[in-house]
Chain A
Amino acid sequence: MWIQLGSCALVAAAVLAGADIHGTIVIDRKLSRHNVTASVGMYQRGVAVELGADGETDPLAFERSHVAVYLEGGPKSTATEFPKASIEQKDRRFAPDLVVIPAGSTVSFPNFDPIFHNVFSLSKAKSFDLGNYPEGQSRLVTFPVPGVVAVYCHLHSNMAASIVVAPSRWAVRVDKDGIFSLKDVPAGTYTVVAWHKTAGTFRKTLTIGERDAAVSFTLPYAEPTDAGHVAHR
C-alpha cells in the first residue's frame, strides 16, 4: 500500500514537472584519514598505501564523491520506483562503499571473493547479519527506515560500507567534482541535507518554485546540524 501511494505521487510529480536543484559540494581539505590496501590479488597483499595513491589521485575528489545529498520535508514524495543497489564483496572490500537509496529500497550483497564473508550491521535504521556465505552467493536486504546504515564484515574488520537511506526519492551521491542535481523537484520548501561519514550532516532550507534552484555546501565549515533521524556512528 505504501508503495502504491508512492507511485501515485510520482505520477503527480511527473505531471507537475517540478524544477531541478543543482548544487555543488566544496571540500578544501582531507576529511578522512584511512589506509587503503592495494587489491592486487588474493594473497598478494601489498604494503599499506596512503589514500590517493591507488588511482585516486585527488584526495579531495575522493572526499567529494563520498558525500550523499538528499531532500527532507516538502510535499510527500516517497519513492515508488527503486533503483537497483548492490554492494559487492570483492578483493576483501565493499564495492561501492557508499550507497544512497530512497527508503524502502533493497540492496544486494553478492560475494565475488573466493573466500567467505559475513556482512552485518548494527545500525539503528537497520540491523542485520547475513551470516557466512561463500563466493557466488548473494543476500538481499531492504531498508524501509531512513537513516545511515554502517555495514561491516565479521571476518574482515577492515571492510566497511555506508548506506544512506533517504526519506525522499531525491537522493544522490555527489560525483567526484562535487556536483549533484536533484531532478523534478515539485515547488515547496525543502531542507537539503548533505552527509559525509566523518564531517557529519549539513542542512540548508530551500524553497523551490518554477525555476531551477542552486545550492552549495562547504564542508566541513558549515555548522553541522542534528539530522534527528540520522544515526551517527
Chain B
Amino acid sequence: MRFATRTFLSSFIPFAVLLAISFWAIRASVMETVRDGLRASVRDNQVALAREQSRNEGRNRKLLEGIGENPSLKAGLQLLAAEGSATGQARNTVQDQLSEICDSLSFDFMMVSGVHGEPLAAVVRYAEGFAPVNLTRLHPPEQGFFSTDGRLYEVTSVPIHEADTQVATLTMGGRFDISRFGVPAVLLQKGTVIATQMRDLAPAQIESALASCPAAADCEFRLAGQQYLSLPLGRTAASGSDGYSLRSLQNVDAASAPLQIILRKLFLVSGFIALAAMLGISALSSRSIAQPLVDVVTHLRLSAATGELPEFPESRGGAQEIRDLTQGFNNAARAVRESRERLTRAYVQFVGSLAQALDARDAYTAGHSRRVSEYSCAIAKAMNLADNDLEIIRVGALLHDLGKIGISDLVLQKPGRLTPEENELIRQHPVIGKRILENVQGLEAYLGIVELHHENLNGTGYPHGLKGEETPLYARIVKVADAYDAMTSDRPYRRGKSHAEALAVLRSVSGSEMDPTVVEAFALLGDQRKQPAFAGTQSLRSLSEAVQSEIGTAALEVVTHEREAS
C-alpha cells in the first residue's frame, strides 16, 4: 500500500467513524430532547385544554342554571303537580315547553325530574323535530354520559327552585359526537371503547393500553409503536356510576414527527457535508504529509538510476523531519562526492605525476606531452568538435606517451638509430600506456588515444594495424600533433624541422599514414608555436583545466597549489 493511501486511510477512517458516531449520538440526544420537549408541551396543552373544558363547563352551568329559573317552566311544573303526572295533556304541555327550550338553546335532550329523581317529562331531538321519551327506561346521570335509543348524550343538570326550595331537576344536554371534539379523544364505558377519534387504532388496542392508566390521572404508554399521552377530560369524576370516562389520546410521536423529519434531514445533510469535508481534508493532509516523502523518494530513485547524487534544493517549508532527511542526504551526498572527487584527484595527481615524470626523463622531450595536447586541442577546435571531445583529446594527448614509462632509458634516450629489437620495444608503449590506465576508473575515455595514436590510416601502424576509420578520430588527431611535435623538436642528433618542412612531411604521408582531414585542418591553423598563449607553463595548467572539467574547481585549486609548491 502506498504511503499516501495509508496516510489518507489512517486519517480518514478514524475521523469518519468518530464523526458518524458523534453525529449519531448528537442526533439521538437532540431527538430525545425534542421529543421530551414536545411531549411536555403536548401535555401542557392537554392539561390546559382539560382545564379550559372544565372551566367552560362551570360557565355553562351558570348559564344553564338560568334555564331553571324559567317561569313558564315553573308554571308548567305547577300544572303538572296540580293535574298529576297521569294526565297526558299536562305532560304534553311540559314536553312542549321543553321542546321549545331545547329548540331555542340547541339542546338535543331535556328532562325534568322530581326532587327524588323520578322523571316527569323528557324530550329528544330527532331529524324532524322533538319527541317525548319513554320515561320508564330513562335514567340519565345528573352529569355525564348516557345513551338512550342507541344514541349517546352528554348531559348536565341544574336545580329548579321555588322559594329557595328545590322542586325539580332539569337535565339537559346534546348528543355527544366525538368527531367534533376539539382534541383527539376516546370515550370508554367500563374500560370498553364507545367512541374514538383514533380511527386507525383498534379499540381493543386502546382498551388494553388504557387499562393500566389510573382513572383520574394522566398516563403515557406505547401503542402500535408510537408514544401516546392520555389525560382524563372533565366529566370523568361525575360519570363514575355509569363507568363512562372521556380521555384525550394524543400521539406524541406524530406531534413531533414533522420536527423529527426536519431534524433527520438536517443531520443527514450536515453529516454528509462533514464527511465530504473530512474526505477533502484527509486527502489534503495525506498529500501534505506524503508529498515531501514522495518527492524525496523520487529524488533518491533518480539518484540511484543516474548514479549522480544531486543535492535537494533548500526548502524552507515542509516538516522538520523531511528537512532533516534531505539535509542528511545532502550531507551524505556531499561527503560521497567529496570522497569521489578526492579519489579522482588522487588519480589525476597520479597520472599527472606520471606525465611529468615521463617528460622529465628526457630534456629533449620535455614539454612534448603538453605541446601535443595544445596542438590536438587546436585541431579539434578547428574541426568544430564538441567541448566534451576537446576535453577528452586534451587529457588523452597529455597521457598519450604514458606507456614510455615502461621502456628503458637506454632505448628511449639512445642517440642514433634503434635496432629492430629496440624499435619493437618502443612500439610497445601504446599498449603499456593502455595497460597502466585501463585499471584506473574514470580514465577509460583516454584509452583510445593512448593505445591507438600510432595506428596508420593504411593499416601499417601499431599496435593493431587498424585501418582508416577503425582508429578513433581522437587518436588520429593526436597522431598528427605527435608527429608534428616530434619533427619540430630538437633532438641530440638533429635540429628540429621548421613548421613548413614538418607540414610538408605531414602532407606527404597524408592519406597513407595521416588522416588528410586532420592534416588539412592543422595546416590551416598555421604555426601554433607563434601563438602568444603558447607559454612553457601551460602544460600543467592544461592538465589542471582538463582535470577541472572532470572534477570541478576544487581539483584545480589543489593541482595549482601543488604546482606552485613544487
Contact = CB atoms under 8 A, between A and B. Distances in A.
B122 to A, nearest CB: 13
Nearest to A159: B72
Interface string B71-103: 110011001001100000110110111011001
Contacts of A92: 96, 100
B129 A44 contact: yes
Interface in B128-186: 128-131
Given A45-B129, A154-B75, A155-B97, A115 B103 contact: no
B178 to A, nearest CB: 27
A44 B76 CA distance: 19
Interface in A39-67: 41-45, 48
A118 B79 contact: yes
A92 B97 CA distance: 10
A116 interface: yes
A76 interface: no
A155 B128 contact: no
B89 A43 contact: no
A114 interface: yes
A152 to B, nearest CB: 10
Nearest to A45: B103
A207 B409 CA distance: 196
Contacts of A45: 99-100, 103, 129-130
Contacts of A155: 72, 75-76, 79, 93, 97
Interface size class of A (residues with CB under 8 A): 10 to 19
Contacts, number: 55
A139 interface: no
B82 A132 contact: yes
Nearest to B131: A43
Contact of B89 (A48, A115, A156, A157): A115
A44 to B, nearest CB: 4
Interface string A107-137: 0000000111010000000000000101100
Interface string B207-222: 0000000000000000
Interface string A6-48: 0000000000000000000000000000000000011111001
**What is the interface of chain A mostly: helix, strand, loop, or mixed?**
loop
Nearest to B102: A45
B467 to A, nearest CB: 142
B71 A157 contact: yes
A41 B129 contact: yes
B89 A116 contact: yes
A18 to B, nearest CB: 48
A38 to B, nearest CB: 11
Interface residues of B, number: 23
Contact of B92 (A115, A132, A156, A157): A115
A189 to B, nearest CB: 47
Contacts of B93: 115-116, 155
B88 to A, nearest CB: 9
B66 to A, nearest CB: 14
Given A45-B100, A45-B103, A118 B128 contact: no
B162 to A, nearest CB: 14
A155 B103 CA distance: 17
Interface string A125-169: 000000010110000000000000000001111000000000000
B90 A116 contact: yes
A156 B72 CA distance: 6
Interface string B109-136: 0000000000000010000111100000
Nearest to B87: A134
Nearest to B95: A43
B121 to A, nearest CB: 12
Contacts of A43: 95-96, 99, 123, 129-131
Nearest to A155: B75
A132 B95 CA distance: 16
Nearest to A92: B96
Contacts of B128: 44
Contacts of A41: 129
Contacts of B79: 116, 118, 132, 155
Interface string B543-562: 00000000000000000000
B96 A118 contact: no
Interface string B355-379: 0000000000000000000000000
B94 to A, nearest CB: 9
Contacts of A42: 92, 96
Nearest to B98: A43
Given A43-B130, A44-B129, A45-B129, A135 B72 contact: no
A155 B97 CA distance: 8
Nearest to A153: B72
Contacts of B76: 155
Contacts of A134: 89-90
B429 to A, nearest CB: 148
Interface of B: 71-72, 75-76, 79, 82-83, 89-90, 92-93, 95-97, 99-100, 103-104, 123, 128-131
24 contacts: A41-B129, A42-B96, A43-B96, A43-B123, A43-B129, A43-B130, A45-B99, A45-B100, A45-B103, A45-B129, A115-B93, A115-B96, A116-B83, A118-B75, A118-B79, A132-B90, A134-B89, A134-B90, A155-B72, A155-B79, A156-B97, A156-B100, A157-B71, A157-B72
> Top 7 closest A-B pairs, CB basis?
A115-B93, A44-B129, A116-B93, A154-B75, A134-B89, A43-B130, A157-B72
Given A45-B100, A48-B104, A155-B76, 19 more contacts: A43-B99, A43-B130, A43-B131, A44-B130, A45-B99, A45-B103, A45-B130, A114-B89, A116-B89, A116-B93, A118-B75, A132-B79, A132-B90, A135-B89, A154-B75, A155-B93, A156-B97, A157-B71, A157-B72
